Amino acid sequence: MTEPRLTQFRNGPHTFDVIDSGPLDGTPVVLLHGFPQRASAWNQVAEHLHARGLRTYAPDQRGYSPGARPKSRFAYGMAALTSDIVALIDAIGPGPVHLVGHDWGAAVAWSVAGNHPDRVTSLTAASVPHPGAFIRSMFTSGQALKSYYMALFQLPVLPERMLASGRADSMLRGGGMTREMVEQFHTEIVDHGALRGGLGYYRSILRANPGQLGKKIAVPTTYVWSDNDVALGRKGAEINHRWVSGPYELEIVQGATHWLLDERPAELANSIIKRVGI
Protein backbone atom coordinates (compact mmCIF):
# COMPACT_ATOMS: atom_id res chain seq x y z
CA MET A 1 0.00 0.00 0.00
CA THR A 2 1.29 3.47 -0.88
CA GLU A 3 1.88 5.66 2.14
CA PRO A 4 -0.49 8.63 2.07
CA ARG A 5 0.71 12.19 1.95
CA LEU A 6 0.14 14.41 4.96
CA THR A 7 -2.14 17.16 3.65
CA GLN A 8 -3.51 18.44 6.96
CA PHE A 9 -2.91 18.23 10.69
CA ARG A 10 -4.74 19.51 13.75
CA ASN A 11 -3.76 21.36 16.88
CA GLY A 12 -6.69 21.87 19.22
CA PRO A 13 -9.57 23.43 17.27
CA HIS A 14 -7.35 24.45 14.36
CA THR A 15 -6.71 22.59 11.09
CA PHE A 16 -3.57 23.34 9.10
CA ASP A 17 -2.81 22.69 5.44
CA VAL A 18 0.53 21.10 4.54
CA ILE A 19 2.50 20.68 1.31
CA ASP A 20 4.05 17.23 1.69
CA SER A 21 6.38 16.49 -1.21
CA GLY A 22 9.53 14.63 -2.17
CA PRO A 23 10.33 10.92 -1.84
CA LEU A 24 7.99 9.13 0.54
CA ASP A 25 10.87 7.37 2.26
CA GLY A 26 12.98 10.52 2.50
CA THR A 27 14.35 12.04 5.68
CA PRO A 28 11.72 14.52 6.97
CA VAL A 29 12.47 18.24 6.76
CA VAL A 30 9.92 20.80 8.02
CA LEU A 31 9.94 24.17 6.22
CA LEU A 32 8.38 27.19 7.98
CA HIS A 33 7.49 30.29 5.95
CA GLY A 34 7.50 33.91 7.08
CA PHE A 35 5.53 37.08 6.43
CA PRO A 36 4.09 37.92 3.96
CA GLN A 37 4.40 34.53 2.29
CA ARG A 38 2.85 31.07 2.54
CA ALA A 39 4.14 27.52 2.32
CA SER A 40 4.41 27.79 -1.47
CA ALA A 41 7.36 30.16 -1.00
CA TRP A 42 9.48 27.05 -0.33
CA ASN A 43 8.71 25.38 -3.68
CA GLN A 44 12.01 26.22 -5.38
CA VAL A 45 14.12 25.29 -2.35
CA ALA A 46 12.15 22.07 -1.88
CA GLU A 47 12.95 20.89 -5.41
CA HIS A 48 16.65 20.89 -4.59
CA LEU A 49 16.02 19.06 -1.33
CA HIS A 50 13.92 16.40 -3.05
CA ALA A 51 16.73 15.77 -5.54
CA ARG A 52 18.91 14.81 -2.56
CA GLY A 53 16.34 12.38 -1.19
CA LEU A 54 14.69 14.59 1.42
CA ARG A 55 10.96 14.68 2.07
CA THR A 56 9.64 18.13 2.88
CA TYR A 57 6.64 19.29 4.89
CA ALA A 58 5.73 22.96 4.41
CA PRO A 59 2.69 24.04 6.44
CA ASP A 60 0.55 27.13 5.98
CA GLN A 61 0.96 28.30 9.54
CA ARG A 62 -1.47 29.87 12.00
CA GLY A 63 -3.31 32.77 10.40
CA TYR A 64 -2.58 31.48 6.90
CA SER A 65 -4.41 28.14 6.81
CA PRO A 66 -8.17 28.82 6.39
CA GLY A 67 -8.91 26.39 9.23
CA ALA A 68 -6.50 28.10 11.63
CA ARG A 69 -7.30 31.80 11.70
CA PRO A 70 -8.29 32.84 15.22
CA LYS A 71 -9.52 36.43 15.40
CA SER A 72 -7.87 37.50 18.64
CA ARG A 73 -4.43 39.09 18.33
CA PHE A 74 -3.49 37.26 21.51
CA ALA A 75 -3.90 33.90 19.73
CA TYR A 76 -0.64 34.45 17.83
CA GLY A 77 1.82 34.36 20.71
CA MET A 78 5.00 32.34 20.35
CA ALA A 79 3.78 29.59 22.68
CA ALA A 80 0.80 28.95 20.39
CA LEU A 81 2.90 29.13 17.22
CA THR A 82 5.39 26.72 18.73
CA SER A 83 2.70 24.26 19.77
CA ASP A 84 1.40 24.21 16.19
CA ILE A 85 4.73 23.00 14.84
CA VAL A 86 5.16 20.48 17.63
CA ALA A 87 1.76 19.09 16.61
CA LEU A 88 2.96 18.86 13.00
CA ILE A 89 6.15 17.04 14.01
CA ASP A 90 4.11 14.59 16.06
CA ALA A 91 1.77 14.06 13.09
CA ILE A 92 4.76 13.28 10.86
CA GLY A 93 6.26 10.87 13.43
CA PRO A 94 8.03 8.92 14.58
CA GLY A 95 11.09 10.70 15.85
CA PRO A 96 12.59 14.16 15.36
CA VAL A 97 12.83 16.17 12.14
CA HIS A 98 15.25 18.60 10.55
CA LEU A 99 13.70 22.04 11.05
CA VAL A 100 14.10 25.02 8.71
CA GLY A 101 12.56 28.49 8.96
CA HIS A 102 12.68 31.85 7.21
CA ASP A 103 11.62 35.22 8.64
CA TRP A 104 8.82 34.57 11.17
CA GLY A 105 9.22 30.89 10.37
CA ALA A 106 12.79 31.18 11.65
CA ALA A 107 11.57 32.82 14.87
CA VAL A 108 9.17 29.93 15.41
CA ALA A 109 11.88 27.41 14.56
CA TRP A 110 14.24 28.91 17.17
CA SER A 111 11.48 28.52 19.76
CA VAL A 112 10.70 24.92 18.79
CA ALA A 113 14.38 23.94 18.87
CA GLY A 114 14.95 25.70 22.19
CA ASN A 115 11.90 24.38 23.99
CA HIS A 116 11.52 20.96 22.35
CA PRO A 117 15.02 19.79 21.38
CA ASP A 118 13.87 16.16 21.50
CA ARG A 119 11.77 16.80 18.41
CA VAL A 120 14.49 18.51 16.35
CA THR A 121 17.53 16.83 14.78
CA SER A 122 18.97 20.03 13.34
CA LEU A 123 18.01 23.67 12.79
CA THR A 124 18.60 25.92 9.79
CA ALA A 125 17.36 29.48 10.33
CA ALA A 126 17.34 32.01 7.50
CA SER A 127 17.36 35.79 7.90
CA VAL A 128 16.05 36.09 11.49
CA PRO A 129 18.56 35.33 14.26
CA HIS A 130 17.82 33.88 17.69
CA PRO A 131 15.39 36.18 19.56
CA GLY A 132 18.07 36.89 22.14
CA ALA A 133 20.47 38.12 19.45
CA PHE A 134 17.72 40.13 17.78
CA ILE A 135 16.71 41.89 21.00
CA ARG A 136 20.34 42.61 21.92
CA SER A 137 20.98 44.06 18.46
CA MET A 138 18.00 46.40 18.91
CA PHE A 139 19.91 48.16 21.70
CA THR A 140 23.44 47.96 20.33
CA SER A 141 23.08 48.77 16.62
CA GLY A 142 20.78 50.34 14.07
CA GLN A 143 18.41 47.37 14.20
CA ALA A 144 15.64 49.37 15.89
CA LEU A 145 15.50 51.71 12.89
CA LYS A 146 15.39 48.76 10.49
CA SER A 147 12.46 47.35 12.49
CA TYR A 148 10.27 50.48 12.36
CA TYR A 149 7.55 48.58 10.50
CA MET A 150 7.02 46.34 13.54
CA ALA A 151 5.76 49.37 15.46
CA LEU A 152 3.59 50.41 12.51
CA PHE A 153 1.99 46.96 12.44
CA GLN A 154 0.78 47.41 16.04
CA LEU A 155 -1.83 49.89 14.83
CA PRO A 156 -5.34 48.54 14.28
CA VAL A 157 -6.88 48.42 10.78
CA LEU A 158 -4.44 50.85 9.12
CA PRO A 159 -1.75 48.27 8.22
CA GLU A 160 -4.38 45.99 6.65
CA ARG A 161 -5.74 48.84 4.57
CA MET A 162 -2.32 50.03 3.43
CA LEU A 163 -1.10 46.56 2.48
CA ALA A 164 -4.33 45.44 0.84
CA SER A 165 -4.82 48.62 -1.20
CA GLY A 166 -1.37 48.53 -2.72
CA ARG A 167 -0.23 51.73 -1.03
CA ALA A 168 2.55 49.76 0.66
CA ASP A 169 3.73 48.00 -2.51
CA SER A 170 6.63 50.42 -2.84
CA MET A 171 7.75 49.45 0.68
CA LEU A 172 7.70 45.78 -0.29
CA ARG A 173 9.62 46.50 -3.50
CA GLY A 174 12.12 48.58 -1.53
CA GLY A 175 12.75 45.57 0.68
CA GLY A 176 13.76 43.46 -2.30
CA MET A 177 10.52 41.94 -3.50
CA THR A 178 10.10 41.73 -7.27
CA ARG A 179 6.94 42.85 -9.02
CA GLU A 180 5.94 39.21 -9.38
CA MET A 181 6.43 38.60 -5.65
CA VAL A 182 4.26 41.59 -4.78
CA GLU A 183 1.54 40.29 -7.09
CA GLN A 184 1.80 36.90 -5.40
CA PHE A 185 1.44 38.61 -2.01
CA HIS A 186 -1.85 40.18 -3.11
CA THR A 187 -3.09 36.86 -4.51
CA GLU A 188 -1.95 34.44 -1.81
CA ILE A 189 -2.15 36.65 1.27
CA VAL A 190 -4.60 39.51 0.71
CA ASP A 191 -7.11 37.76 -1.57
CA HIS A 192 -6.73 34.51 0.38
CA GLY A 193 -7.74 36.24 3.62
CA ALA A 194 -4.45 35.65 5.43
CA LEU A 195 -3.32 39.25 5.97
CA ARG A 196 -4.88 39.83 9.38
CA GLY A 197 -3.50 36.56 10.72
CA GLY A 198 -0.03 37.33 9.41
CA LEU A 199 -0.05 40.69 11.15
CA GLY A 200 -1.18 38.95 14.34
CA TYR A 201 2.38 37.64 14.79
CA TYR A 202 3.65 41.20 15.16
CA ARG A 203 0.75 42.26 17.36
CA SER A 204 1.46 39.49 19.86
CA ILE A 205 5.19 40.09 20.06
CA LEU A 206 5.07 42.29 23.17
CA ARG A 207 3.37 39.47 25.09
CA ALA A 208 6.20 37.01 24.43
CA ASN A 209 7.58 35.09 27.41
CA PRO A 210 11.30 35.95 27.76
CA GLY A 211 11.93 32.59 29.39
CA GLN A 212 10.63 30.77 26.35
CA LEU A 213 12.46 32.96 23.83
CA GLY A 214 15.83 33.09 25.55
CA LYS A 215 16.70 29.41 25.70
CA LYS A 216 19.98 28.39 24.15
CA ILE A 217 19.91 25.99 21.23
CA ALA A 218 21.62 22.66 21.81
CA VAL A 219 20.88 21.02 18.45
CA PRO A 220 23.28 21.46 15.49
CA THR A 221 22.41 24.84 13.97
CA THR A 222 23.12 26.90 10.86
CA TYR A 223 22.16 30.56 10.59
CA VAL A 224 21.97 32.01 7.07
CA TRP A 225 22.04 35.80 6.72
CA SER A 226 22.19 37.95 3.57
CA ASP A 227 24.18 41.18 3.61
CA ASN A 228 21.61 43.20 1.63
CA ASP A 229 18.77 42.44 4.04
CA VAL A 230 17.09 45.78 4.80
CA ALA A 231 15.17 44.33 7.76
CA LEU A 232 17.91 42.43 9.63
CA GLY A 233 21.30 43.97 10.28
CA ARG A 234 24.79 42.50 10.65
CA LYS A 235 24.94 42.86 14.45
CA GLY A 236 22.40 40.14 15.08
CA ALA A 237 24.32 37.79 12.80
CA GLU A 238 27.63 38.55 14.50
CA ILE A 239 26.41 37.83 18.04
CA ASN A 240 23.97 35.02 17.24
CA HIS A 241 26.45 32.30 18.24
CA ARG A 242 26.08 33.34 21.89
CA TRP A 243 22.65 31.71 21.99
CA VAL A 244 23.72 28.36 20.54
CA SER A 245 25.49 25.79 22.70
CA GLY A 246 25.60 23.03 20.09
CA PRO A 247 27.54 22.84 16.80
CA TYR A 248 27.02 26.12 14.95
CA GLU A 249 27.77 27.72 11.62
CA LEU A 250 27.07 31.21 10.27
CA GLU A 251 26.71 31.49 6.50
CA ILE A 252 26.57 34.93 4.87
CA VAL A 253 25.05 35.17 1.40
CA GLN A 254 26.71 38.04 -0.41
CA GLY A 255 24.57 40.46 -2.43
CA ALA A 256 21.19 38.92 -1.55
CA THR A 257 18.20 40.62 0.04
CA HIS A 258 15.86 39.27 2.71
CA TRP A 259 14.06 37.03 0.20
CA LEU A 260 16.52 34.16 0.04
CA LEU A 261 13.89 31.56 -0.87
CA ASP A 262 13.15 33.42 -4.09
CA GLU A 263 16.58 34.87 -4.94
CA ARG A 264 18.97 32.11 -3.90
CA PRO A 265 16.99 28.85 -3.57
CA ALA A 266 19.92 26.62 -4.59
CA GLU A 267 22.30 28.26 -2.10
CA LEU A 268 19.81 28.04 0.74
CA ALA A 269 19.07 24.42 -0.15
CA ASN A 270 22.80 23.66 -0.04
CA SER A 271 23.02 25.16 3.44
CA ILE A 272 20.13 22.94 4.57
CA ILE A 273 21.62 19.85 2.93
CA LYS A 274 24.99 20.47 4.57
CA ARG A 275 23.34 20.85 7.99
CA VAL A 276 21.21 17.73 7.46
CA GLY A 277 24.44 15.92 6.69
CA ILE A 278 23.72 14.03 3.48
pLDDT in tens, 20-33: 999 999 999 999 99
| pLDDT at residue 208 in the model | 76
Mean pLDDT throughout 215-231?
Answer: 97
* pLDDT tens profile 32-54: 999 999 999 999 999 999 999 99
d(CA 190, CA 199): 11
What pairing do the DSSP bridges indicate for beta strands 54-59 and 14-21? antiparallel
* Predicted confidence band of residue 2 (pLDDT cuts 50, 70, 90): low
| pLDDT at residue 3 in the model | 66
| pLDDT at residue 1 in the model | 40
- CATH of 8-276 among 1.10.150.530, 3.40.50.1820, 2.40.110.10, 3.40.350.10: 3.40.50.1820
Mean pLDDT throughout 159-172?
Answer: 95
Provide the percentage of residues in the chain whose pLDDT is more than 70. 99
Show Cβ contacts of residue 22 under 8 Å, excluding neighbours closer than 6 positions: 46, 49, 50, 53, 54, 55, 56
What count of Cα atoms within 13 Å lies in the side-chain half-sphere of residue 206?
A: 6
With a cut of 90, say whether residue 213 has pLDDT above it: no
| pLDDT at residue 214 in the model | 76
Nearest to 130 by CA among 201, 62, 212: 212
* pLDDT tens profile 234-262: 999 999 999 999 999 999 999 999 999 99
| pLDDT at residue 81 in the model | 97
| pLDDT at residue 73 in the model | 86
Q: Are 102 and 34 in contact (CB under 8 A)?
A: yes
With a cut of 80, say whether residue 146 has pLDDT above it: yes
